[in-house]
Structure 1
């Protein structure tokens, strides 16, 4: 159907504007973590918020107040899980992955690449993206918990203390 009625369109515009404002407020209250680079847990929260917003816009059986409660529940759960994982490392391991060393002293770690489902080409791409021209110039490449590849050149390695939580 191309068109149902004007009241339906007006409802979408009004509830959409109110839902959008509510979502912005909930995201602002829930903190920067919700908007940071996403790990799996943050991605699930983001998808859930988007799904709630879409349902609120398009399903006439869902009121704005129900959408508000749904937004608040997801934000509260995100806040609780973030707090628990910050206090207990065992909980953090359940919710997020560990960073993985993919390259060390210019040598690719094939077992880590295979486990992470990455290719040598993707690691070399990250190295090029860092501005380095040679694998030998790189001390290590780490697959971070958010999926980003961190490239540490030999001359920036320092004492290596930033790598203490890396899965070998």
Structure 2
């Protein structure tokens, strides 16, 4: 049997104290990581979430004349991340002879200007670059690359509901922003 020449206690290199320090540090790191991941996800996730799109009541279906476009205004709440804003929007609605309703985005497909309905020649006209659209939204003249953008619409209990969407201007096919 080997004897230790120095008086007092002898502590081996891999002591119990070192082991418990290592286990405590590992457990603390694991707990910290477990708490940090959900916290970071909670803070960062709104930046990756798309805008929530809701059905918005824009008016009574009975108020729409057949074959005549009518501009309908509404206030919508946009939620983008943590920010919530109210915005006044308008859409153009046309009631067809079969009773269906087509709702157009109010933005010209050429460069994003607002257009208006000209009753005298029964066309939508964009004042910016002279694009002209018929009552069905088809391009009749001008530089517009595609017909007017149609928005999702439905009628429930006599009320017209629309999901307001924005599309990129200047493209030959509709692409949502």
TM-score normalised per structure 1: 0.21
TM-score normalised per structure 2: 0.20
Name which one, 1 or 2, has greater alpha-carbon Rg.
2
Between structures 1 and 2, the one with greater strand share? 2
Between structures 1 and 2, the one with greater helix share? 1
